[in-house]
Amino acid sequence: MRRLPIFFVLDCSESMIGENLKKMNDGLQMIINDLKKDPHALETAWISVIAFAGVAKTIVPLVEVVSFYPPRLPIGGGTSLGAALQELTRQIDTQVRKTTEERKGDWKPVVYLLTDGRPTDDTTAEITRWKTHYARKVNLIAIGLGPSADLNILRQLTENVLLFNDTQEGDFTQFIKWITASVSAHSRSVGEESPPLLNQTDYIVKLAKDDVARAYDENCVTLIGRCSKSRRPYIIKYERPAVNLSSLNFKLNINGFNLAGCLPIDEDYFAWSDESVSSQQVNTSDCMAHLVAHIAATAVHLPCVTAVNCSVSMARMMLSARGVIEG
How is the chain split into domains, by residue range? 4-207, 220-321
Instruction: Find the range with the poorest average confidence among 135-139, 189-193, 299-303.
Output: 299-303
Instruction: Find the range with the poorest average confidence among 19-33, 182-196, 261-275, 283-297.
Output: 283-297
Report which of residues 95 and 23 the model is more confident about: 95
Instruction: Find the range with the poorest average confidence among 16-30, 235-249, 250-264.
Output: 235-249
- pLDDT, tens only, 151-179: 999 999 999 998 887 767 778 888 888 89
Helix residue spans in the chain (DSSP H): 19-35, 39-44, 81-95, 124-133, 151-155, 171-188, 268-271, 285-298
According to DSSP, the residues that pair with 112 across neighbouring strands are 8, 141
Contact 284, 308 (CB under 8 A): no
What 3-state DSSP class applies to 54?
coil
Average pLDDT over residues 32-42: 93
Please classify residue 169 by burial: count the beta carbons closer than 10 Å to its beta carbon, then call 0-12 exposed, 13-18 middle and 19+ buried: exposed
Instruction: Find the range with the poorest average confidence among 31-45, 67-81, 174-188, 256-270.
Output: 256-270
Report CA-CA distances (Å) from 42 to 66, 103, 236. 7, 21, 41
Phi and psi of 28, rounded to 5°?
Answer: -60, -40
According to DSSP, the residues that pair with 239 across neighbouring strands are 220, 258
Q: What's the pLDDT at 222?
A: 79
- Asked if pLDDT for residue 242 goes beyond 70, the answer is no
Of 214, 212, 213, 216, nearest in space to 279 by CA: 216
Would you identify the CATH topology of the domain 4-207?
Rossmann fold (3.40.50)
Helix residue spans in 156-220 (DSSP H): 171-188
DSSP state of 324: P
Q: What's the pLDDT at 146?
A: 80
Q: What's the pLDDT at 10?
A: 96
